[in-house]
Amino acid sequence: MDHQLLRSTFAVVERRAEHAVTFFYSHLFWHNPGVRELFPEDMLPQRDRLLAALTHVVTHLEDPGLAAYLGQLGRDHRKFLASPALYAAVGQSLLAAFAHAAGAAWTIEAEKAWTEAYGHVAELMLAGADAAAGAGEPAWWDADVVRHERYGDDLAVLTLRPRQPLLHLPGQYVGVSSLRVPRVWRTYSLADAPRPDGTVELHVSRIAGGAMSTALVEETGPGEVLRLSAPGGGLVARTPPGGLRTYICAGTGWAPVRALLAEAAAAEPDLEGRLFVVARSKEYLYAREDAERLKERLPGLNVTYITAAPRQRKDQATERLLRALRACVRWSAHDVYLAGPPGFVAEVAEVLEELGTDPERIHHDTLPSVGRFTTRPNTAAERLLGPPTPLWHDPEARAPRGASRSF
């Protein structure tokens, strides 16, 4: 495959990304009646996701991990009932959209390279789907809601009992779908290590205007059934025994961190580390009781809770956290596990690097985007669909940014 040619055509398509994605879906739905019904009513998050996946493929062409990524994506796409025929239809519409957006850059060679590349991508995704089906894994897990607890106005903890065993690594997330919001899937972390009774826990924060989070926080209750997709994500334990680690979470970012700590409490109760739990206000520090229980099992864990002061804006908690992080030492010796709102993760990761943490040892997930990109935009296409928000906190206290940054 001609990687250089794939990258150069994609760079042209990217500059007209919004146009290309609109063309793609119009072409797909027009030529394949019935396919529109497989997609949610609100297509905006879907459009971002397609582009994010394509960007990932093009920027990882030489990465040996790409095949595993595509296999996992195919496994995950079983929840959409994606058939080989649908993969073929998507390929045709994608090439048509690329041809349209690339203009003069769409040469015979470019078309050949993209036809071959898409064929390869589809093959790896279908192989991932077949492998999961062959191992007896369902396309999704029906799960009964057995408990629903509210914290503050916007937060809920849901306990679910999947009807088939749901194997996962602590720290991973699942896609969640509800009949209340047809065909929409949102990702939430599983908030515990696998439990003996097979139940799982999701922590949901209601986003203003978010149909799914509102349904899960305000309307869902015991007796209802949700669908869960195959667990995925790379925020899993990576520290060798005896290694130092720091866990930092904000809001419902507590969910994956709690799962990692529960695993550590069983596997390595004498671990040494620090935990920072950040919440917008005291009322939202729903993690405190659980964290205290974990601390009893992990005496070497130093726990700090950080909230904004009363009547201060919620972001003040991050400023307070950054001050606390600056007061800590030995960052170069720590693995750091990070979870929370995307802006928080990006900001904290940057400060940790400035403090001397090895970037390879800062672990966090890039959750699939919802509506807007969940990480800072890097490419022209990402910037177009989700322009970066300006950094807001205490810029004076920061070391100068690397000259290589493009925003």
What is the binding site for ligand NAI (CB under 6 A)?
188-189, 203-205, 250-253, 255-256, 278, 280, 284, 308, 314-315, 317-318, 339-344, 347, 367
Cβ within 8 Å of residue 73, ≥6 positions away: 53, 125, 128
Nearest to 213 by CA among 178, 183, 254, 189: 178
Specify the residue, 205 or 357, whose C-beta has the smaller distance to ligand NAI.
Answer: 205
Contact 179/241 with Cβ under 8 angstroms?
no
**Least distance CB 385 / ligand NAI (angstroms):** 18
| Pair type for strands 301-307 and 141-151 | unpaired
Specify the residue, 123 or 315, whose C-beta has the smaller distance to ligand NAI.
Answer: 315
Specify the residue, 215 or 250, whose C-beta has the smaller distance to ligand NAI.
Answer: 250
**Least distance CB 320 / ligand NAI (angstroms):** 8
**Least distance CB 257 / ligand NAI (angstroms):** 9
Distance, in Å, from the CA atom of 48 to the CA atom of 52, rounded to the nearest integer, reads 6
Specify the residue, 23 or 344, whose C-beta has the smaller distance to ligand NAI.
Answer: 344
Q: How many C-beta atoms lie closer than 10 Å to residue 332's C-beta?
A: 11
Contact 261/247 with Cβ under 8 angstroms?
yes
Specify the residue, 284 or 331, whose C-beta has the smaller distance to ligand NAI.
Answer: 284
Phi, psi of 178 (to 5 degrees): -130, 145
**Least distance CB 247 / ligand NAI (angstroms):** 12
Specify the residue, 154 or 335, whose C-beta has the smaller distance to ligand NAI.
Answer: 154
Phi, psi of 171 (to 5 degrees): 105, -15
Nearest to 19 by CA among 77, 85, 108, 101: 101
DSSP state of 5: H
**Least distance CB 391 / ligand NAI (angstroms):** 8
Contact 77/125 with Cβ under 8 angstroms?
yes
**Least distance CB 60 / ligand NAI (angstroms):** 23
